[in-house]
Homo-oligomer: A and B are copies of this chain.
Amino acid sequence: MAGNTFGQLFRISTFGESHGEAIGVIIDGCPAQLDIDLEFIQTELDRRKPGQSKITTQRKESDTVKILSGVFEGKTTGTPIAMLIPNEDQRSKDYSHNTDVFRPSHADYTYYAKYGIRDHRGGGRSSARETAARVAAGAVAKLLLKSQGIDVISHVSSVGKINAPAPDFSNADRFIEEREKNIVRCVNQYVAEEMITRIDEVRKQGDTIGGKVTCYINNCPAGLGEPVFDKLHADLGKAMLSINAVHGFEYGSGFAGSEMLGSEHNDSPIPHPSPVGKGALIQTLTNNAGGILGGISNGMPIEFTVAFKPVATIMHNQQTINAKGEAAEISGKGRHDPCVVPRAVPIVEAMAALVIADHLLRHRASKL
């Protein structure tokens, strides 16, 4: 049972290989009558696209999205929304050396083991190029959330060992404005400079480096999340872990919470008129819960962090094996990112927006 579909009620299915004709996505279940701002969708894609700065891969793709169905006179009709992004700059020859040799820490071996066949050009389906389709779909989810006043925003919170301090995320527009002032997408300009320097240094060494993205969801209503398996943070976690290169996920107090005492960790609710009712919001002094209790949003901001490993393609000679299991040597070719986190920001937001949109629709069916 293949796994190219995500979501239950707001559901996407992506398709396409990095060096095929096109990639794309179908959104099934987007409610009717939503205004579709194509320019906004394109802006989101532009933040993910390659070739945008010196610290991203130099592959050039305009990533121009085209809507094939589901939108009529600027509004969704309730039918499937198909979006297509043609591939342009496919230098498939760059990958001819990969035919028989498995690149270390890439999916070459596992795709081969699973299917007995693989499209070796640039990773094929395992390429992060597939995430462009997610960003396009996520942009539609964001439009849905915006219509309900919900903002999903994220930034780069670390590159290697350089960590950004906790930002003020209360104003989404200002947050995005600050973040987009620098090419690494960290809202703290000072730390951003350090991060850029570090990435550039690593890039010059033909190496790569990991990092983290932290995401905030403001104004999420209380009540989203479905016990006991489809907890809101469980679905957010799965969404994030499905992004290429992600090795960890934590929300609220996260891993640090495992070192705390209950008396430190508990969040005290603040008295507040009628906490239960339509649009009910609870307020707590601290937010170790990360906005989620028992798998259900409590109305506080949702906060989580995603850890990315360093990109596997490095410009060094590496020992590996070929399909016969014999020793082989490989050196990275092609055009790759020295650090994925600047381009991962819109992907993290897209996947988070998809989860929240899905749970908004799911929540409608929980009460009469």
Copies of this protein in the assembly total 4
Scan residues 98-137 of chain A and give those whose CB is less than 8 A from a CB of chain B: 102, 104-107, 109-119, 124-126, 130
CB within 8 Å for A271 and B31 given contacts A126-B227, A262-B314: no
Q: Output the least CB separation between A48 and chain B (Å).
A: 15
Quick one: CB contact mask for A1-23 with B, threshold 8 Å, 1 for yes? Answer: 11111101101011111001111
* Given A261-B207, A263-B207, CB of A366 within 8 Å of CB of B228: no
Of A179-187, A189-197, A287-295, which stretch is located at the interface? A287-295
Report if A258 contacts B (CB, 8 A): yes
Interface size on A, residues (CB 8 A): 159
Per-position binary interface string of chain A over residues 206-231, scored 1 when its CB falls under 8 Å from any chain B CB and 0 otherwise: 01111110000000001101111111
- As a 0/1 sequence over residues 288 to 322 of chain A, the CB contacts with chain B under 8 angstroms (1 = contact) are 11101111111100000001111111101011110
The answer to whether A6 and B262 have CB atoms under 8 Å apart is no
- Shortest A364–chain B CB gap in Å is 5
What are 20 A-B pairs at a CB distance below 8 A? A1-B230, A1-B365, A2-B29, A3-B225, A4-B26, A78-B367, A79-B119, A79-B125, A79-B227, A105-B266, A109-B298, A110-B294, A160-B258, A210-B259, A238-B241, A247-B253, A248-B254, A250-B255, A262-B313, A266-B312
What 3 A-B pairs are tightest by C-beta distance, nearest first?
A107-B294, A3-B230, A3-B226
